[in-house]
Amino acid sequence: MRVLLAGASGAIGTRLVSQLVDRGHEVIGTSRSPDRAERLHALGAEPIVLDLLDPRAVRTAVFDTKPDAIIHQATALAGLRDFRHFDRSFAQTNRLRTDGTDALLAAAQQARVGRLVAQSFANHRYARQGGPVKTEQDPLDPSPVPTMRETEAAMAYLDQAVTDAGGIALRYGNFYGDPDDGLVQAVRSRSFPIVGDGGGVWSFLHLDDAAAATVLALERGAAGIYNVVDDEPAPTRVWLPELARIVGAKPPQRFPRWLARLFAGQAPVVMATESRGASNAKAKRELGWTLRYPSWREGFVDAYT
């Protein structure tokens, strides 16, 4: 297939370019920077400069490059630090998930592009009730933390708009595998504590496995939503000390909920204590996806030691 990949220069995008090229696809990869475009060329993509927030440019790019499929992996999450003002920190990503998605969908419809796959997210979104691991059928949190409302709404918007248009939204777990991973840096500096009972469940995913699932979704996925996560959703009290041990950091500090809330705000507390993880059964069953790193336990070791 001829694939237009928005966000080709990013942490998942670069891995995706390589895997798509390996599978025989032709990739047109976007970046806003000519320097990063050079790197895309070296990876085997045909680079183009594109700002997803410029709908006219998006339309032109789609008509000029004539793809069979579009993949949306554009986010602005690198260097994220301030989780107290969650929506403010995610504002640009939220625009990419709403306005950026709209621009791609409009252009895809006009140019009759048949397939669209977009990045969504699984963690911290499912209702904080019932079992620890949720499927795509389970309800989303009806009352998100106030500081996260816009971010949750942007992801819900993307899921709905993409699937309404016959596309695929991939709800990924927390990515890891990037050498500059912000979470790993926080664990190394002991600034990521276990909060309360550490009962919030997180799903993880190695970037290589994320790219592999994305290629399969492109090739054989049906319209709809897929959780794309590893096999071992785990409570914070389990994965956090293990990650600290693996990267050679001191064990994480422990904060009561009230103290963590004082320091970091409500969103990180809820993520650390109430979040639910996600099940990958549908992605494995329907996409024939096998993970190179079925558990973050071996993935963290491979990526960070």
Ligand X SMILES: NC(=O)c1ccc[n+]([C@@H]2O[C@H](COP(=O)([O-])OP(=O)(O)OC[C@H]3O[C@@H](n4cnc5c(N)ncnc54)[C@H](OP(=O)(O)O)[C@@H]3O)[C@@H](O)[C@H]2O)c1
Shortest distance in whole angstroms from residue 92 CB to ligand X: 7
DSSP state of 143: S
Contacts of 34 (CB under 8 A, 6+ apart): 49
Q: Binding to ligand X by residue 11, rule CB under 6 A?
A: yes
Q: Which of 7, 167, 196, 198 binds ligand X (CB under 6 A)?
A: 7
Find the binder of ligand X among 36, 124, 128, 237 (CB under 6 A): 36
**Closer residue to ligand X in complex, CB, 13/198:** 13
In the bound state with ligand X, the residue whose beta carbon lies nearer, of 69 and 96, is 96
Helix (H) and strand (E) counts in the chain: 14, 15
Residue 21 or 259 with smaller CB distance to ligand X: 21
From 18-26, 45-53, 63-71, 216-224, span contacting ligand X (CB under 6 A): 45-53
Told to check if 156 binds ligand X by CB under 6 A, we report: no
Residues comprising the chain, all counted:
305
Return all residues near 21 (Cβ < 8 A) that are at least 6 apart. 27, 43, 44, 45
User: Helix, strand or coil for residue 197?
Assistant: coil
Whether the CB-CB separation of 119 and 211 falls below 8 Å is answered with: no
Contact 154, 118 (CB under 8 A): no
In this chain, which of 86, 90, 126, 175 binds ligand X, going by CB under 6 A? 175
Token pair of 97 as six digits:
């998930």
Shorter beta-carbon distance to ligand X: residue 125 or 237:
125
d(CA 58, CA 74): 13
Q: Which residue in the set 78, 127, 140, 281 belongs to the binding site for ligand X (CB under 6 A)?
A: 78
Among 18, 23, 46, 53, binds ligand X (CB under 6 A): 53
Q: Which residues bind ligand X (CB under 6 A)?
A: 6-11, 13, 30-33, 36, 50-53, 74-78, 80, 96, 121, 175, 178, 180-182
